[in-house]
């Protein structure tokens, strides 16, 4: 019986070899990219804390209880407080990254965003500029509105100091008056004109006399 062989055994061996070849393997830390090396096993694995991590040694997170490397509590990050008395997670927003979309002026996630929203001093960006956020070509090479406002203030202060050093008095810029809207211009030469009287009943046409259906008693 030990010498018996079946036709499907070869297929089983080939399937095992394919499975071993396609099995995902996690590269060691020295073979990862510099950005990945920075975050490699720097934070305690949330699933490992609950004995639910199925990756074992291949997990990119730390399988060791370390209070300094605990992940941030999701309830604290979302609501600003945590009511769990024995919560093992970190209750601090120091490790939470700043939201890049909020820095540009608008974040679609609002208060539910997983990143920090730091309100900067100064005026809000104009609506016509905020509408361009997220469109191709807008972010590349364009500083945020707050940064451009600071550069403008620094430049104005430098010019003011140069005027004072030269003995001139810096003039105050008058407030810009709101310009009245321009009147509508003439219609284009190829514009079509429509006679509105053709679409109105005879009694409602322009210049028609109103009908009088009542008589005055003498």
In 3D, which of 111, 159, 149, 112 has the Cα closest to residue 129?
Answer: 149
pLDDT in tens, 76-91: 877 778 888 888 888 8
Banded model confidence at residue 136, pLDDT cuts 50, 70, 90:
very low
Would you say 69 and 44 are in contact if contact means Cβ atoms under 8 Å apart? Answer: yes
In sequence order, which residues have a C-beta less than 8 Å from that of residue 87 and are 6 or more positions away? 73, 75
pTM over 0.75: no
The predicted structure's pLDDT at residue 72? 79
Domain-wise residue ranges, the chain: 97-165
Q: What is the pLDDT of residues 42-64, one digit of tens each?
A: 788 888 888 888 888 888 888 88
pLDDT digits 0-9 by tens, 3-32: 666 666 666 666 554 444 433 444 444 444
């Amino acid at each position: 019986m030990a010498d018996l062989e079946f036709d499907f055994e070869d297929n089983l061996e080939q399937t095992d070899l394919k499975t071993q070849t396609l099995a995902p393997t996690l590269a060691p830390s020295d073979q990862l990219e510099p950005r990945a090396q920075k975050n490699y096993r720097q934070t305690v694995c949330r699933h490992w804390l609950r004995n639910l991590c199925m990756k074992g040694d291949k997990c990119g997170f730390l399988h060791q209880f370390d209070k300094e490397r605990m992940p941030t509590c999701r309830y604290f990050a979302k609501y600003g407080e945590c009511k769990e008395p024995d919560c093992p997670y970190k209750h601090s927003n120091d490790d939470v990254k700043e939201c890049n979309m909020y820095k540009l002026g608008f974040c679609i996630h609002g208060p539910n965003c997983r990143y920090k929203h730091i309100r900067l001093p100064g005026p809000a960006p104009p609506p016509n500029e905020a509408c361009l956020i997220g469109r191709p070509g807008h972010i590349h090479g364009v500083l945020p509105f707050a940064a451009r406002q600071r550069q403008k203030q620094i430049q104005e202060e430098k010019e003011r100091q140069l005027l004072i050093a030269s003995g001139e008095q810096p003039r105050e810029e008058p407030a810009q008056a709101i310009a009245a809207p321009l009147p509508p211009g003439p219609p284009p030469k190829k514009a079509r004109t429509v006679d509105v009287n053709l679409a109105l009943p005879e009694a409602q046409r322009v210049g028609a006399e109103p009908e009088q259906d009542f008589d005055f008693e003498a």
